[in-house]
Amino acid sequence: MAAFSEIAPGWWPFSAGTTAIVIAITIYFIAYQLSSRKIDPREPPVIAPAVPLVGHLLGMALLGGRYIKNLGIRNQQLPIFTLPVPGSRIYVVTDPSLAAAVQRASRVMSFNPIVPEVTQRVLGLDDATVEITRKNVDPGPGEERGFLPDIQDMVSVWLGPGDYLGSLSLDAATEMRNEIAAYASSTPVNSSPTDLLSWVRHLVTLSTAKYLYGPQNPIALDPALECSFWDFDHGLGSLLMNIFPSITAGRAYAGREKLSAALLAYLEAGRHKTSGSKIVQKRVDIALEHGWAMPAIAREELSFLFAGIVNATTSTFWILLHLYADPALLATVRREIESVLSPRSSSDNKPGYALRITDLRDKCPVLVAVYRECLRLGSDTYSTRVVKEDYLLANQYFLKKNAVIQIAGGVIHADQRIWGADVFDFNPKRFLDKTNSNSDAEALNPDTGSKPRPKQGNAFHPAAFRAFGGGKTLCPGRHFAMNEILAFVALVVLQFDMKPARGNKIDVPPKNDGVLPVHILEPVRPVEVVISKREDGFAGDGLDVEFSM
């Protein structure tokens, strides 16, 4: 300041301190104006960051997915808005019709150009593999196809409706039945408090690893890898930042490296060929055809294991939690499931049952409504794409080449205009057709008055339910996920009771939306319950259910 006073001319009336403040305010004002400027008059309304230039990036780094979600909720009158970031823009879409328009324009807005960079950071892929991944990511008809479109198309077709979906769903349900039976036979009645999410995690992780990679999968051979897997999952955001990941994302990095090494040993021993699922075998073949080396394929398989486990785990957790927190709802869902369970004669005279997984989907409307409501409430997912050329979205909004566009699932799922005034409450009835019943209990009860029916037709805009993303990046595992999750929930609610570990009501905490929403969000605090075998009906050392489709 002294130096400034010396050079200040005699006519300047202000002190050095005042002058510095005036300069700072002027710079802030100019930077703020620059930040709020539109590149083109038709660009979506700009929301300037409170800290010019870098404010939005800081907000995202500090508040995770909650930052953009809160901006979207505060500005819900804007169907799309622009967040200026250094050197680029992020366009945020909060309206289902515009989301559908983005999804339709897949030629100009695509996720694939970002995939090589993202997977390199998250999976630790080497440069040579990333070069392969960059090739022909979005081929037009008749053009040469790269690794990404080949593997995406295969996974979509194989997990789409058809024989393979049926057989993989049966494998998954059978593995889940076996894992749950193993738990039931090892658990004393009135056992100690259990963290519900950890319990579901354990069962889903073991069974998914088995139905995808066979009995000799890495986690079955080394159970400590289960913990490595969840370390990897919980540090994904830090791995994505990629700032000295071995230090800043230490546990996730270590977990990833241990799992990749174990998957490499699995592949090199050829265990995928002898006992892995057909879809895993096909994935490995496609990667080999495109010139991938085995260590990179092992890392890529970690991403498939991840896709298979994480969303199924957290959504199953929320479904069980909401059911056990509401005894009347639980009773209704149990009745629905029991109505599609048929007795089966078994050779050893033990009572056995047959269960068609499709009956859970088609004949248990309240169970399905609970499933969908838990996905809506738990999912703040963003569908992200890069704008490949200057484009006028819906003939109205100018989007700049190389900008990023995100469909904000968390904002759309929190929109009262779509879901009603109780948008933040758990209300599965919103996924059921209105009945002529008077009370909530009646509306959800198949034994009273008119039966609950799944909502028909276009009750909500098709792009408003965002848990599985949409358009070209719509989750290819969605049919399979529904089959396995409903089967898992059916097995649990038929066999077990759950009581709160403390107090007399099971607590349903809010979701933790302060992280990068890469999957259905976890609760802000653990939920402890006491799990016991049901005293009526279906208890025993493992329910003997044979599944069919």
Q: Which residues line the annotated binding site for heme?
A: 475
Per CB under 6 A, 330 contacts ligand HEM: no
Instruction: Please answer whether residues 433 and 452 qualify as being in contact, where contact means their C-beta atoms are separated by less than 8 angstroms.
Output: yes
Instruction: Please answer whether residues 101 and 413 qualify as being in contact, where contact means their C-beta atoms are separated by less than 8 angstroms.
Output: no
Q: Which residues lie closer than 8 Å to 269 by C-beta, 6 or more apart?
A: none
Closest CA to 57 of 95, 88, 102: 88
Least Å from the CB of residue 307 to ligand HEM: 4
Among 302, 520, 527, 545, binds ligand HEM (CB under 6 A): 520
Instruction: Please answer whether residues 356 and 485 qualify as being in contact, where contact means their C-beta atoms are separated by less than 8 angstroms.
Output: no
Interacting positions 89-148 with ligand HEM (CB under 6 A):
111
Among 119, 133, 228, 473, binds ligand HEM (CB under 6 A): 473
User: Which among 46-54, 192-200, 375-383, 437-445 is the span making contact with ligand HEM, rule CB under 6 A?
Assistant: 375-383
529: β partners: 194, 500
Q: How far apart are CA 451 and CA 449, in angstroms?
A: 6
User: Which among 33-41, 91-99, 440-448, 475-483 is the span making contact with ligand HEM, rule CB under 6 A?
Assistant: 475-483
CA distances from 227 to 59, 124, 217, 481, 521 (A): 30, 19, 15, 23, 19
Residue number, 182 or 475, with CB nearest to ligand HEM: 475
User: Which among 87-95, 121-129, 186-194, 463-471 is the span making contact with ligand HEM, rule CB under 6 A?
Assistant: 463-471
Per CB under 6 A, 312 contacts ligand HEM: yes
Residue number, 72 or 477, with CB nearest to ligand HEM: 477
Given 3-state DSSP classes, what are the helix, strand and coil percentages for the chain, each rounded to the nearest 5? Answer: 55, 10, 35
Per CB under 6 A, 492 contacts ligand HEM: no
Residue number, 150 or 528, with CB nearest to ligand HEM: 150
Among 205, 217, 260, 381, binds ligand HEM (CB under 6 A): 381
Q: How far apart are CA 33 and CA 390, in angstroms?
A: 23
Give the contact letters, 342-371, x = binds to ligand HEM (CB under 6 A), - = no. ------------------------------
Give the contact letters, 243-272, x = binds to ligand HEM (CB under 6 A), - = no. ------------------------------
Residue number, 311 or 332, with CB nearest to ligand HEM: 311
User: Which among 213-221, 236-244, 255-263, 306-314 is the span making contact with ligand HEM, rule CB under 6 A?
Assistant: 306-314
Among 65, 96, 476, 517, binds ligand HEM (CB under 6 A): 476
Per CB under 6 A, 489 contacts ligand HEM: no
User: Which among 65-73, 87-95, 354-362, 476-484 is the span making contact with ligand HEM, rule CB under 6 A?
Assistant: 476-484
Residue number, 266 or 480, with CB nearest to ligand HEM: 480
Please report, in range form, the residues annotated as the binding site: 475
Residue number, 317 or 538, with CB nearest to ligand HEM: 317
Among 152, 198, 402, 512, binds ligand HEM (CB under 6 A): 152
Closest CA to 323 of 194, 184, 156, 490: 490
Among 80, 93, 155, 367, binds ligand HEM (CB under 6 A): 155
Encoded tokens for 367: 């169970």
Least Å from the CB of residue 92 to ligand HEM: 15
Q: How far apart are CA 185 and CA 215, in angstroms?
A: 20
Residue number, 260 or 383, with CB nearest to ligand HEM: 383
- Count CA within 13 A, CB hemisphere, residue 353: 21
Q: How far apart are CA 329 and CA 324, in angstroms?
A: 8
Residue number, 245 or 476, with CB nearest to ligand HEM: 476
Among 114, 394, 441, 475, binds ligand HEM (CB under 6 A): 475
Q: How far apart are CA 358 and CA 367, in angstroms?
A: 13
Residue with tokens 């859970």: 360
Least Å from the CB of residue 350 to ligand HEM: 31
Q: Which residues lie closer than 8 Å to 181 by C-beta, 6 or more apart?
A: 541, 542, 543
Residue with tokens 């089966």: 344
Residue number, 214 or 308, with CB nearest to ligand HEM: 308
Closest CA to 374 of 521, 239, 503, 169: 521
Q: How far apart are CA 322 and CA 478, in angstroms?
A: 21
Per CB under 6 A, 468 contacts ligand HEM: yes
Closest CA to 91 of 77, 106, 72: 72
Least Å from the CB of residue 237 to ligand HEM: 16
Least Å from the CB of residue 127 to ligand HEM: 21
Q: How far apart are CA 367 and CA 348, in angstroms?
A: 32
- Count CA within 13 A, CB hemisphere, residue 234: 13
Burial 103-119 (b: 16+ CB within 10 A, else e): bebeebbbbbbebbeeb
- Count CA within 13 A, CB hemisphere, residue 461: 18
Per CB under 6 A, 308 contacts ligand HEM: yes
Residue number, 468 or 496, with CB nearest to ligand HEM: 468
- Count CA within 13 A, CB hemisphere, residue 196: 33
Q: What backbone torsions phi and psi does residue 88 show, to the nearest 5 degrees?
A: -160, -170
* DSSP conformation class of 160: S
Among 133, 194, 228, 311, binds ligand HEM (CB under 6 A): 311
Interacting positions 176-195 with ligand HEM (CB under 6 A):
none
Among 119, 228, 383, 445, binds ligand HEM (CB under 6 A): 383
Closest CA to 382 of 181, 135, 178, 93: 93
Query: If binding means CB under 6 A, how many residues of this protein chain bind ligand HEM?
Result: 21
Binding residues (CB under 6 A) for ligand HEM: these are 111, 152, 155, 307-308, 311-312, 315, 375, 381, 383, 467-469, 473, 475-477, 480-481, 520
